[in-house]
Structure 1
Amino acid sequence: MATRVSYPLEVKMKAIEMRLAGIPVKEVMEQLNIRNKTQLKTWMRWHRNGEWNRLEQPVGKQYSYGKGPEYTSELERVKAENRFLKQQVDLLKKYRELGEEVSSRIVVEWVESVRSEVSVKQACEWIGVPRATYYRWRAEYENRPEDHMVEKIRELCIQHKYRYGYRKITALLQREDKVNHKRVQRIMQREGLQCRVKTKKRKPTGQPVHIADHLLKRQFEADAPMQKLVTDITYLPYGGKMLYLSSILDLFNGEIVAYSIADKQDTTFVLDTLRQLPSLRGAILHSDQGSVYTSQAYQEAVKGKGITMSMSRKGTPADNAPIESFHSTLKSETFYLEGLTCTTTAIVEQTVRDYIFYYNSIRIQTKLNNQSPVDYRRLAA
């Protein structure tokens, strides 16, 4: 016949404390050297029913509360009851650090965590909070933005260096759960997490003068990749010397399909960018009327790839708005945002390369159904 084990009161209270904290039964048994899980369940049942006196009774002499020979007088019974009540309150204070001033958030979180073990009524009695008050606090707590929502929004804003406004942050959150954009906007405004990108500036356009055919005609939509391309050059005056960026953008998904960085703005510079493209029979490449694009060498190289050239009207940068917008976005979300007004040439080049990778592969766009250009192209394929 197996020997019955009598566990000290301290072990029983510790086991109850660990179970209330959500520690699995198996782990509790291993740490406290408890042989039978049924014994642990029995202690938890006494705990839920308020039969704390039974925890102190030895094996073989278990009686219902207030009955049996365990108390020789009423005074002994009251002392035992007070002792167990004090132990229960100390247990709760140790678990959630519940002091005399208990915040509504802590009460709601604690009661929810022990609902699988005890009733709401019993839990509220233990901490001296009316049940109606608990339900009111829970309703208020559920209607307020949860801490995890605020932290998630903060993480996304930091991850993208405050380049996203509330619409794109909402789109990222909705990949995991439903959330209203107005709620995200309120949280970002309250926490100071708004987009910090510099406001873009636009200059008035001049009178148009036709030098080449304007084939694109501001029709910036494409039905397939590499069908309509736009190109331009922008200045990078942030390093030890002036640098220039030449890039080509695919209007199908806004992806940068070719780019070059150099310290000279000449025909060789733009040819290096063009050479990165494959042969594209029937495609349109649109640019402004810069001398590098109207040069004979560039025109011949474009024709050699089977591409048809299109040019903006003079003094009308809006005719090439997508690539102008990209260059403005690049500067706003890197050099302006990070305050890089004077740095090394190597840092400028690396910043541009890193951003173009981020822009193509990670940065979502609303017009692409909140996907990155690369993801949008892959899904379309």
Structure 2
Amino acid sequence: MSKRLFSAFEQKQLESNPNVNHVSDRSISYAADFKVRAVQENLSGKGPMAIFLDHGFDLKLIGSDKPGECLKRWRSVYKAFGEEGFYTERRGKGSTGRPSSKTLSAEEQLKKAEARIAFLEMENDFPKKARRIRKAGEEEGLTLSERFQLIEQTIRRYQLKRMVTFLCHLARVNRSSYYAWLTNENNRIHREQRDEDDYKLLNILYTQGKKKEGGRQLKMKLENDYGITMNLKKIFRLTRKFQIQAIIRKKNPYKQLAKASHEHKTCENHLNREFVQLPGAVLLTDITYLYLADGTKVYLSCVKDGTTREIVAHYLTTSLEMSIVYKTLQRLNEALEGNVHPGAILHSDQGFHYTHPNYQRKVKALGFTQSMSRRGNCLDNAPMESFFGHFKDHVEARECKTLTELKVKVVDFIHYYNSGRYQWELKRMTPEQYRGHLLAA
């Protein structure tokens, strides 16, 4: 039995081949005529894969090693029993056709008793199969559609007749509902095909995003870049069905927060986590560190608009001296062109750069009100921390050998973050689009 699991759509696809009798979720039953032809062609010198391809089988679906395994087994049967060995081999299948009203012979009674035993074994195995469909250790029940599917697979596997009522009772479903489900087969196949097509598109976006973008990011990319509207619940259903799961950053609860220096004067927390106000009214700043390929430590200082989430200014250097924050302020002033919002707040943590008297004088000279997070509370500057998290997810600094290489990657990502990365909380717009939207309003 194969380790490969066939979906309902794949089973129907395989059963459409005239050389196949029936297909379960794990095995394929081939027609006796095909087995005889395959063995004869193989003995005449034709390869197993060529035989299966000529008879309409998709090797990507059944597996490239399956033809060789089947021919090896069939040649043994042919050598021992000849062609008759394929036609007399029933292996647990029940009798077909209408029941005879004549008196059964002893041999026929024995076959009927064996069929009853096979059915009882199937009945015994039914709840076990139900548990295997769910993840190990979970006791969740099957959905209604899964119960119908299980009944249909059981009947086909054992070639059972007149057992529908019993199986429906065992699965706790209505017989009429089961037959309605059977008649809806074409719609289910079409739905499976649509899911396959949608999955291919989602998988392209998922791969382009380095497997780090979730359902909401996929939805916004579909709408903005492809003009396709897809329900968020459907996206989540498809990501679960086809196991598309974004890589999530792991939180480190044991990471020690850097202790702020008490030598400098701290400022009051004027922001109080009211990050969203007006464009340019709340600016957040912080410094993070990166490593080059040779282990050189590099520092990135950024300023972020708390309302539009746009990165307004940044500066990258290998030095942690005060010049890093002075250069950042200079670039911020250039980006704003001196147009500072009245009462604008520049918020940071209590790092020694931001408590330095010279820095505080420069901030005040530019027209900002300086604000600082409470000691040891990173949530007071959460949007800035969030950006650094996304940044490190996408930018592999250790792939860069020089600071110049890293600067190019930083500029490219910040441009993508501001202009190309849609954000759910910004009405599914990019930061630049959202800023324009607020200013227009």
Q: How many angstroms does 1:238 deviate by?
A: 3.4
Q: How many angstroms does 1:166 deviate by?
A: 1.4
Amino acid aligned to 2:203: R
Matched, 1:159 2:205: no
TM-score by length of 1: 0.59
Matched, 1:172 2:221: yes
Partner of residue 374, structure 2:
313
Amino acid aligned to 2:435: R
Partner of residue 401, structure 2:
344
Partner of residue 314, structure 2:
259
Structure 1 gaps of 5+ residues are 1-97, 103-134
Amino acid aligned to 1:289: Q
Q: Deviations over 1:241-266 (max 9, x none)?
A: 11000000001111100000000112
Q: How many angstroms does 1:269 deviate by?
A: 1.0
**Which of 329, 345, 349 pairs up with 2:390?**
329
Amino acid aligned to 1:287: S
Q: How many angstroms does 1:311 deviate by?
A: 1.0
**Which of 188, 191, 209 pairs up with 1:143?**
191
Q: How far apart are the structure 2 equivalents of 1:377 and 1:326?
A: 17
Matched, 1:302 2:341: no
Amino acid aligned to 2:431: P
Residue pair 2:279, 2:438 contacting (<8 A) in 1 also: no
Residue pair 2:266, 2:355 contacting (<8 A) in 1 also: no
Residue pair 1:166, 1:184 contacting (<8 A) in 2 also: yes
Q: Deviations over 1:149-205 (max 9, x none)?
A: 122111211222222111221233345344332322232234343212432435587
Q: How far apart are the structure 2 equivalents of 1:353 and 1:239?
A: 19
Amino acid aligned to 1:360: N
Q: What SS does the aligned partner of 1:327 have?
A: helix
Q: How far apart are the structure 1 equivalents of 2:312 and 2:56?
A: 64
Q: How far apart are the structure 2 equivalents of 1:192 and 1:147?
A: 13
Partner of residue 216, structure 1:
271
Q: How far apart are the structure 2 equivalents of 1:173 and 1:259?
A: 30
Structure 2 gaps of 5+ residues are 1-53, 59-182
Residue pair 2:315, 2:327 contacting (<8 A) in 1 also: yes
Q: How many angstroms does 1:147 deviate by?
A: 3.4
TM-score by length of 2: 0.51
Q: How many angstroms does 1:298 deviate by?
A: 1.2
4+ long deviations beyond 6 Å:
98-102, 204-210
Amino acid aligned to 2:370: M
Q: How far apart are the structure 2 equivalents of 1:206 and 1:275?
A: 25
Partner of residue 304, structure 2:
249
Q: How many angstroms does 1:380 deviate by?
A: 1.8
Matched, 1:187 2:238: yes
Change (3 A) 1:344 1:370: same
Matched, 1:362 2:420: yes
Q: How far apart are the structure 2 equivalents of 1:374 and 1:163?
A: 22
Q: How far apart are the structure 1 equivalents of 2:299 and 2:236?
A: 37
Which range moves more in the overlay, 185-194 or 369-378?
185-194
Change (3 A) 1:244 1:206: closer
Q: How far apart are the structure 2 equivalents of 1:334 and 1:201?
A: 20
Partner of residue 238, structure 1:
292
Aligned length: 251
Q: How many angstroms does 1:308 deviate by?
A: 0.7
Percent of residue pairs identical: 32
Partner of residue 112, structure 2:
none
Residue pair 1:288, 1:312 contacting (<8 A) in 2 also: yes
Matched, 1:196 2:254: no
